[in-house]
Structure 1
Amino acid sequence: MLTLAYRSVEEIEEDMLKSSQGLNLSISEMHLLQAVEDTGSDCTISSLSANQRVSLPSVTAAVNKLARKGYVEKERSPQDGRVVHVTLTRAGQKATTAHRYFHTRMVRSVSHALNAEEQEAMLKGVRKLNQFFADKLHRKEGKF
């Protein structure tokens, strides 16, 4: 059921991206933009690589593609030329705002379909699920 729900959300996200005027982004590109926004002013290629658990060359290629599309800007650090800072452009900010709005609408739609007891049960289940996955990831990283 979890896999089916994940695939459904992913498919709905794909449809949203395809139907959005002017957004020529894949889901993975959108999630990378979201990671740039979430990281904030100290976003670097290295921090994105660690955050997304993707190799540096892969993140570099993805960021370069997003820069060509006009969603991010890159700037070398004046202190260390090896470090590349990544910031959202206005178009990148608009895309992440649309993505966040999509998620908000999706959560509202699901919650409206449930009564208060079902909402509470789902919230409790999702919290436990998130904790389970967080624990698995931390063990994988050697933090336990």
Structure 2
Amino acid sequence: MIRKESEDVLNMLLVKLFNDILKIEAAAIKQGECSDLSVTENHIIEAIGKNREMTMTEVAKDLEITVGTLTTAINRLIKKEYVERRRIEEDRRVVLIKLTDKGEKAFDSHAQFHTDMIKSIIQELPETEETVLITALKRMTNFFEEKYNLLG
């Protein structure tokens, strides 16, 4: 295959893969026990993490969104009983958020979705192809992190 054809195929595959994963994730959420959550809300729950308490600023920074945008989403998650919020006594301006028991169940469910997805991919590959896939994805990740200054 000449280079231009490879570029076209790789572009098509990456775009399709990205879109397919988003569709599969959205469908899995809607079919699961936490069907009242959006993909975005699931990602917020994932960012907060299980058994952790974080400031709104930390979560917003991790997700690369504004605190105002996060506040709107957190208000919805509190109403749905996935997250709780409290201010610290030493500085009432600091707002801490953490998952409720219901939120931890959603976190576990979403983590299981990712585990199942990866296991289903790996089980179909011979070990040599698995190694090649991981190497290629690491190189792509490094490339995007360096080219688009995503290193944190």
Per the normalisation by structure 2, the TM-score is: 0.85
Answer whether contact 1:23 1:95 (CA < 8 A) is retained.
no
Q: 1:115 aligns with which of 109, 126, 146?
A: 126
Instruction: Give the gaps of 5 or more residues in structure 2.
Output: 1-12
- Corresponding residue number in structure 1 for 2:73: 62
Mapped contact 1:30–1:96 kept (Cα < 8 A): yes
Question: Which deviates more from structure 2 when the two are superposed, residues 87-96 or residues 109-118?
Answer: 109-118
Structure having the higher Rg: 2
User: Which amino acid in structure 1 is aligned with residue 83 of structure 2?
Assistant: V
Point out where structure 1 has 5 or more consecutive residues left out of the alignment. Answer: none
Contact 1:77 1:84 in 2 (8 A): yes
Give the ranges of 4+ consecutive aligned residues of structure 1 lying more than 6 Å apart after TM superposition.
none
Q: What is the distance in 2 between the residues matched to 1:38 and 1:2? A: 31
Q: CA deviation at 1:21?
A: 2.6
Q: Which of the pair is proportionally richer in helix?
A: 1
What TM-score, normalized to structure 1? 0.90
Q: State the alpha-carbon separation in 2 of the partners of residues 130 and 10 from structure 1.
A: 18
| CA 1:39–1:53: 2 relative to 1, 3 Å | farther
Residues 5-28 of structure 1: per-residue CA shift (max 9 Å, x gap) = 111111111111111134310001
Q: Which amino acid aligns with 2:67?
A: L
Aligned-pair CA distance for 1:78: 1.1
The amino acid that maps onto 1:55 is T
| Counterparts in 2 of 1:19 and 1:30: CA distance versus 1, 3 Å | same
Structure 1 residue matching 2:98: 3-state secondary structure: strand
1:131 Cα deviation (Å)? Answer: 1.7
Is the deviation greater in 10-19 or in 32-41?
32-41
Partner of residue 5 from structure 1, selected from 4, 11, 17: 17
Letter of the structure 2 residue corresponding to residue 14 of structure 1: A
Report the alpha carbon displacement of residue 38 of structure 1 after superposing the two structures with TM: 6.7
Which residue number corresponds to residue 19 of structure 1? 31
Q: Deviations over 1:23-43 (max 9, x none)?
A: 3100010000000007933x1
Query: Where does residue 52 of structure 1 map in the other structure?
Result: 63
Given residue 80 of structure 1, which amino acid in structure 2 is its aligned partner? Answer: D
Identity %: 28
Residue 103, structure 1, aligned to residue 114, structure 2: yes
Q: How large is the Cα RMSD of the aligned pairs?
A: 1.8
What is residue 141 of structure 2 aligned with on the other side?
A: 130
Q: Determine the structure 2 residue equivalent to 1:71.
A: 82
